[in-house]
């Protein structure tokens, strides 16, 4: 397992699915699977006006790196990028991008799904949902 095959970012900057795709792109890989999470305009039947993401940075990066290493060891994939945003995001903004490259599509799909599901369960990132009538802190990935 090579750390040059892993890209982890936790950033207040706008995320780029293209940058993640470019990172994992490799001539030996026939499949790239990309998950792009976007801020939607509703949650639990209420209109969302914006989201605010907060993370315990060092632990979040450590856990995201651990997930990436798990993906490389459990699935037949070559490269992975896991990028997550911090701060205030508006409707349509991108809080998370995961890209995985593999020789074959099945491994890429399965690894990408594993990565986002595991991130939701284990990475210390929280979101505050802002509604027209108030706000509430929730786990970033319920």
In tens, the pLDDT along 19-57 reads 999 999 999 999 999 999 999 999 888 999 999 999 999
Of the candidates 85, 60, 82, 62, which has an alpha carbon nearest to the alpha carbon of residue 71?
82
CA 108 – CA 102 distance, rounded (Å): 5
pLDDT digits (tens, 9 = 90+) for 100-123: 999 999 999 999 999 999 999 999
CA 123 – CA 82 distance, rounded (Å): 12
How much is the pLDDT for 142? 40
Domain ranges of the chain: 3-134
pLDDT digits (tens, 9 = 90+) for 62-104: 999 999 999 999 999 999 999 999 999 999 999 999 999 999 9
The pLDDT confidence band at residue 135, using thresholds 50, 70 and 90, is confident
* CATH code, 3-134: 3.90.1170.40
Which residues pair with residue 97 across a beta bridge? 36, 83
Reported pTM:
0.93
């Amino acid at each position: 397992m090579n750390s040059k095959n892993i890209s982890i970012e936790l950033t207040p900057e706008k995320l780029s699915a293209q940058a993640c795709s470019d990172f994992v792109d490799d001539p030996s890989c026939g499949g790239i699977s990309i998950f792009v999470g976007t801020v939607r305009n509703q949650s639990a039947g209420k209109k969302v006006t914006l989201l605010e993401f907060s993370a315990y940075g060092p632990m979040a990066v450590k856990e995201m790196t651990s997930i990436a290493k798990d993906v490389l060891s459990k699935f037949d994939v070559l490269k992975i990028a896991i990028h997550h945003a911090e701060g205030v995001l508006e409707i349509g903004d991108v809080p998370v991008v995961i890209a995985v490259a593999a020789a074959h599509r099945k491994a890429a799909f399965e690894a990408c799904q594993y990565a986002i599901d595991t991130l939701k369960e284990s990475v210390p990132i929280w979101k505050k949902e802002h509604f027209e009538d108030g706000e509430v802190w929730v786990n970033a990935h319920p």
